[in-house]
Amino acid sequence: MNICVVGTGYVGLVTGAVFADLGNEVTCVDNQSDKIAALRAGHMPLYEPGLEEMVVRTVADGRLDFTEDLVGGVRRSDIVFITVGTPPGDGGQTDLSAVEAVARTIGQAMERYLVVVNKSTVPVGTGDFVREVIERHQARPIPFDVVSNPEFLREGSAIEDTLRPDRIVIGAPSQQVAMTLLELYAPLERPMIITDVPSAEMIKYASNAFLATKISFANAIANLCELAGADVTQVMKGMGLDARIGPAFLAAGLGYGGSCFPKDTDSLIHTASTFGSDFVLLRAVVEINRGRAAHFVEAIRKALSPLDGKIIAVLGVAFKPNTDDMREAKSIEVVSELLRLGATVRAYDPVALDNAREVFPASVTYCASAHEAAAGADAIALVTEWNEFKFLNLDRVRQVMRRPVIFDGRNVWEPERMRRLGFEYHSIGRKPILPA
């Protein structure tokens, strides 16, 4: 099939590359000329394992192209995927201005029947909105259909999630239109569900809201475990073995961040309010998550007070492992509060330091390794659970620190091991290991 993908962020670039890898002719469109030039030169605008190799391969094979020409991309294609950003607006409302701009150009450019697919995360009702915008900007009436096909990829495993998704959701106005998407996705041989357009739009938000709820529930239990002397990792393991609950997203820690969960929970709360429904449960989920970084820093302050002049090595600044994305990263809150309390911050992350420099205060020192960050430090604060931190030579780390204290915001290490190694160890929802 001839496919046009509008937007070259995480969703658009991965979607375009995978469809091209499956044998389709794909044109990826973006209005940022520097990004298009970089992509044509084989340089990725983001870090995602396996993506660069797939893009380079499909470009060399002539199945993937990059352009600023949206009109040309629309006219060459049978299907147009809208994958532009939908950032949060005031009060949680989703900003659909980029989606509207794309729909306007599609209406002006289309010359024959087209399937327009909303893959951006958009609130329920956006399909009707896109249809109205396209119709309003057509020079003459041309038939088309609008489909909702939400993405469920995770940064850091986006290629795998696109090639082997748990399910493919197709919200279509008719069975005939749905068949076009079924044919496109057929090579993946994954479960597909066909719904109406509003239901597909709601599935995306409901899924992310539920996962965010599991995370906040685990963190609320962690707070109680700290007070009661229980171990939240054991509690969550015992819960997760219940087939009705499952173990995923039950890890206590610093809470959720990134470009999806914070935005999508706020958007669903706002959408509910527009229909006259107060989503009390989800508001509580957001409030619990909002307090996680402050809870972590307070533990650091209590143990090291005063923080004036103390050197804190912050390990991990990306919002999650295997990405360089700093959007809504918990490190931003943690570092800002540590600096406000007078601490000196030395930061290390395997891939996200360049992006961190754009959001962190100038006073942060950036290090080339975890060991360099730990050298002479009064404490380590682990914020992002990169695999390399799990396998650190902790004996060597302890020897170079001024004071062997670790604050583990992701429960990466086992308390008993830290006791044997001679660390003072504070984690989430578990008893601290204190000096004898």
Catalytically annotated residues: 260
Cβ contact 88:94 at 8 Å: yes
Tell me if the bond preceding 306 is cis, omega within 30° of 0.
Answer: yes
Burial of 331 from C-beta contacts in 10 A (0-12 / 13-18 / 19+):
buried
Rounded Cα distance, 359 and 18, in Å? 31
Q: Where are the beta strands (DSSP E) in 234-353?
A: 311-315, 344-348
The sign one gets for the Cα dihedral 396, 400, 402, 408 is negative
Rounded Cα distance, 378 and 375, in Å? 9
Sheet with strand 79-82: strands edge to edge = 64-67, 25-29, 2-6, 79-82, 114-118, 144-148, 168-171, 192-195
Q: Using alpha carbons, list the distances in angstroms from residue 30 to 13, 43, 69, 143.
A: 10, 15, 8, 25
Contacts of 422 (CB under 8 A, 6+ apart): 398, 404
Structure-block tokens of residue 127: 């399909």
> Bridge partners of 366?
347
> Bridge partners of 391?
none
3-class state of residue 391 by DSSP: coil
Q: What angle do CA 426, 428, 434 make, to 5 degrees?
A: 20
DSSP H or E run through 65: strand 64-67
Cβ contact 144:174 at 8 Å: no
> Bridge partners of 26?
3, 64
Rounded Cα distance, 223 and 13, in Å? 39
β-strands 2-6, 79-82 pairing: parallel
Rg of the chain over Cα atoms, rounded to whole angstroms, equals 24
Structure-block tokens of residue 252: 């206590």
Burial of 208 from C-beta contacts in 10 A (0-12 / 13-18 / 19+):
buried
Nearest residue to 4 via CA among 85, 86, 66: 66
